[in-house]
């Protein structure tokens, strides 16, 4: 039986959050609200806290729990996935993703996550049972029994390389038109899909993971401000400019990150970004693969994707690296 929280401590957390919106007391207080059934209050606290601390792993994990409690499993997955990007050793986030994949009958992905979670929590019988189910169901799918992963593994390996090849030219044209020194194209989970001008020395993994966190926090900020969202984020510093632009595709939301030259003009960057979004939406690859391109298809064949973008020396590291721990600058201007 769980112990009731100390009323004095609860009052202290409440006073701290009320007096300072940046107080880290938002996290234990939001957790308390969640356990007490006050989901909406916990959700507001979590979103506000992440607006100040987009790299807070526990906050992303808790937000995923809150979305799951509200029935929004896609958002729950995204938050747990961000938590894993920030801390690949986070057992709770990995456990939650594994169980959700099991619920969705994504046997192979469920098995991978649950194996790691069981290794971290060997005494959890529920996890062990879930892993056994995923393993047996996956073996059945391999033998021709119905299962989503058997079909997705066969088809998803084809769209990713073809789409990445198709995406590369629009990325390069945008870089030229916007006078960008470097460009990354990622999905909302931080997976790399295209690049121009980046090398391993610029830490593309960290940039991708941190951008996914910034995008999630900007979405949370938009919710707090009762806005639909921001068209892009922009920062100008003494040595250059950064532009972050999210946009929708037939598969899922993608994000363009551009490191701009000092001579780049924001108005031209916006025009170039609009043209880029139109060009990407019109790619024949979407039409060819529309029936089988899903958010999950971007998670498949990452080895080929990394080899395509950065060469074989970096292949295999895209799904395992943590984001850098430095807090992102808050000097962003958000545009609608």
* pLDDT tens column, 86-120: 888 999 999 999 999 998 889 999 999 999 999 99
Domain boundaries, the chain: 7-150, 157-335
pLDDT in tens, 124-136: 888 888 999 889 8
Rounded to an integer, what distance in angstroms lies between the CA atom of residue 84 and that of residue 322? Answer: 8
Mean pLDDT of 270-276: 91
Rounded to an integer, what distance in angstroms lies between the CA atom of residue 165 and that of residue 305? Answer: 10
User: Model's pTM, two decimal places?
Assistant: 0.47
What is the structure's pLDDT at 262? 77
- Residue 268 — pLDDT band, cuts 50, 70, 90? confident
pLDDT in tens, 194-237: 888 876 556 777 788 788 888 778 777 777 887 776 778 888 87
Question: What one-character DSSP code corresponds to residue 313?
Answer: G
Angle at 296 between CA 292 and CA 302, to 5 degrees: 105
Mean pLDDT of 163-179: 87
- The order of strands in the sheet holding 232-236 is 192-196, 180-187, 253-260, 241-248, 232-236, 333-335
Query: Cβ distance 231 to 243 under 8 Å?
Result: no
pLDDT in tens, 11-39: 888 888 888 888 999 999 999 999 988 99
What is the structure's pLDDT at 233? 85
Tell me which CATH code domain 157-335 carries: 3.30.450.30
Cα–Cα separations (whole angstroms), residue 229 to 245, 246, 258, 279, 307: 11, 10, 19, 22, 34
Pick the CATH number of 7-150 from 3.40.50.920, 1.25.40.10, 3.40.50.1480, 1.20.140.10: 1.25.40.10
What is the structure's pLDDT at 155? 39
């Amino acid at each position: 039986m769980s112990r009731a929280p100390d009323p004095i401590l609860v009052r202290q957390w409440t006073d701290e959050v009320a007096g300072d919106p940046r107080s880290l007391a938002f996290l234990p207080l939001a957790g308390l609200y969640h356990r007490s059934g006050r989901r909406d209050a916990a959700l507001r606290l979590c979103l506000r806290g992440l607006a100040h601390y987009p790299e807070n792993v526990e906050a992303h994990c808790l937000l995923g729990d809150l979305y799951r409690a509200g029935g929004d499993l896609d958002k729950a997955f995204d938050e747990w996935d961000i938590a894993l990007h920030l801390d690949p050793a986070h057992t709770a986030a990995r456990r939650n993703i594994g169980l959700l994949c099991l619920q969705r009958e994504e046997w192979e992905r469920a098995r991978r996550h649950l194996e790691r979670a069981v290794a971290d929590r060997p005494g959890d019988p529920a996890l062990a049972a879930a892993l056994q189910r995923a393993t047996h169901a996956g073996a059945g799918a391999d033998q021709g029994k119905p299962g989503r992963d058997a079909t997705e593994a066969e088809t998803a390996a084809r769209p990713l390389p073809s789409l990445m090849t198709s995406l590369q030219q629009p990325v390069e044209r945008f870089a030229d038109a916007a006078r960008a020194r470097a460009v990354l194209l990622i999905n909302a989970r931080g997976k790399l899909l295209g690049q121009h001008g980046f090398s391993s020395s610029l830490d593309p993994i960290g940039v991708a993971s941190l951008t996914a966190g910034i995008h999630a926090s900007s979405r949370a900020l938009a919710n707090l401000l009762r806005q639909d969202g921001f068209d892009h984020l922009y920062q100008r510093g003494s040595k250059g400019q950064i532009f972050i632009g999210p946009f929708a595709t037939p598969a899922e939301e993608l994000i363009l990150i551009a490191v701009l030259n000092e001579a780049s003009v924001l108005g031209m960057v916006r025009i170039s970004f609009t043209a880029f979004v139109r060009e990407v939406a019109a790619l024949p690859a979407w039409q060819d693969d529309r029936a089988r391109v899903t958010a999950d298809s971007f998670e498949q064949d990452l080895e080929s994707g990394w080899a395509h973008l950065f060469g074989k020396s970096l292949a295999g590291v895209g799904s395992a690296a943590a984001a850098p721990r430095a807090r992102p600058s808050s000097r962003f201007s958000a545009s609608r």
